[in-house]
Amino acid sequence: MKVTTLKKYAELIARTGIHLEKGEDVIIMAELDQPKFVEYLVEACYKAGARKVTVEFTHQPLQKLHVRYRSVKTLQTVEDWEIARFEHYIKTLPCRIYLLSEDPDGLNGLDHEKEAKGMQGRFKVIKPLRDKLEDKYKWCIAAVPGKKWAKKMFPDLSPAAAVEKLWEAILYTARADGENPMADWDAHNRDLAARCSYLNGLGIRTLHYESKNGTDFTVGMNPDGMFCGGGDYTVDGKFFDANIPTEEVFVSPMRGQADGIVYSTKPLSYNGQLIENFSIRFENGKAVEVKAEKNEELLRTIISMDEGAAYLGEVALVPFSSPINKLGYMFYNTLFDENAVCHLALGRGFNNTLRGFENLTVEECKARGVNDSMIHEDFMIGAADLSIVAACADGRTVQIFKDGEWAF
What is the tens place of the pLDDT at every residue in 147-198?
999 999 999 999 999 999 999 999 999 999 999 999 999 999 999 999 999 9
Domain range for 137 is 3-173
Query: Using CA atoms, how far apart are residues 377 and 287, in angstroms rounded to an integer?
Result: 13
Residues 6+ apart with CB under 8 A from 51: 23, 24, 25
* Whether residues 56 and 141 fall in one domain: yes
Which residues face 251 on adjacent strands?
315
* Whether residues 11 and 101 fall in one domain: yes
Which pLDDT does position 269 carry in this prediction? 85
Which pLDDT does position 211 carry in this prediction? 98
Question: Residue 152 belongs to a domain with what CATH number?
Answer: 3.40.1830.10
* Whether residues 66 and 107 fall in one domain: yes
Half-sphere exposure of 135 (CA within 13 A, CB side): 19
Which pLDDT does position 169 carry in this prediction? 98
Measured in degrees and rounded to the nearest 5, phi and psi for residue 137 equal: -130, 160
* Whether residues 51 and 125 fall in one domain: yes
Q: Say whether pLDDT at 84 is over 80.
A: yes
- The 8-class DSSP code of residue 320 comes to T
The amino acid at residue 104 is P
Single out the residue in 173, 202, 221 at which a domain terminates.
173
Single out the residue in 173, 198, 218 at which a domain terminates.
173
Which pLDDT does position 327 carry in this prediction? 94
* C-beta atoms surrounding 61 within 10 Å: 11
Geometric angle at alpha carbon 260, from 255 and 265, rounded to 5° = 100
The average confidence (pLDDT) of the chain is 95
* Whether residues 90 and 207 fall in one domain: no
Query: Using CA atoms, how far apart are residues 29 and 359, in angstroms rounded to an integer?
Result: 30
- The 8-class DSSP code of residue 222 comes to P
Residues 6+ apart with CB under 8 A from 399: 387, 388, 389, 390, 407, 408
Query: Using CA atoms, how far apart are residues 347 and 32, in angstroms rounded to an integer?
Result: 29
* Whether residues 244 and 336 fall in one domain: yes
What is the tens place of the pLDDT at every residue in 377-407?
999 999 999 999 999 999 999 999 999 999 9
* Whether residues 85 and 215 fall in one domain: no
For residue 229, give the 3-state DSSP assignment.
strand
Q: Say whether pLDDT at 107 is over 90.
A: no
Q: How far is CA 368 from the centre of its chain?
A: 22
What is the tens place of the pLDDT at every residue in 3-20?
999 999 999 999 999 999
* Whether residues 94 and 32 fall in one domain: yes
Q: How far is CA 26 from the centre of its chain?
A: 20
Strand segments, DSSP code E, in 252-383 are: 258-263, 268-270, 273-283, 286-294, 312-317, 343-347, 376-380
* Whether residues 169 and 190 fall in one domain: no
What is the tens place of the pLDDT at every residue in 249-273?
999 999 999 999 999 999 998 877 8
Give the confidence band of 274 by pLDDT, cuts at 50, 70, 90.
confident
What is the tens place of the pLDDT at every residue in 288-312?
999 999 999 999 999 999 999 999 9
* Whether residues 154 and 255 fall in one domain: no
* Whether residues 105 and 147 fall in one domain: yes
Give the confidence band of 108 by pLDDT, cuts at 50, 70, 90.
confident
Query: Using CA atoms, how far apart are residues 186 and 206, in angstroms rounded to an integer?
Result: 31
Single out the residue in 173, 190, 213 at which a domain terminates.
173
Query: Using CA atoms, how far apart are residues 36 and 42, in angstroms rounded to an integer?
Result: 10
Pairwise pLDDT comparison (107 vs 137), residue with the higher score: 137
Measured in degrees and rounded to the nearest 5, phi and psi for residue 229 equal: -175, 150
Give the confidence band of 358 by pLDDT, cuts at 50, 70, 90.
confident
Q: Residues 266-284: what's their mean pLDDT?
A: 91
| Domains of the chain: total | 2
* Whether residues 76 and 213 fall in one domain: no
- Enumerate the H helices of 27-174 as residue ranges: 35-47, 60-69, 72-76, 80-92, 112-133, 147-153, 159-173
What is the tens place of the pLDDT at every residue in 307-326?
999 999 999 999 999 999 99
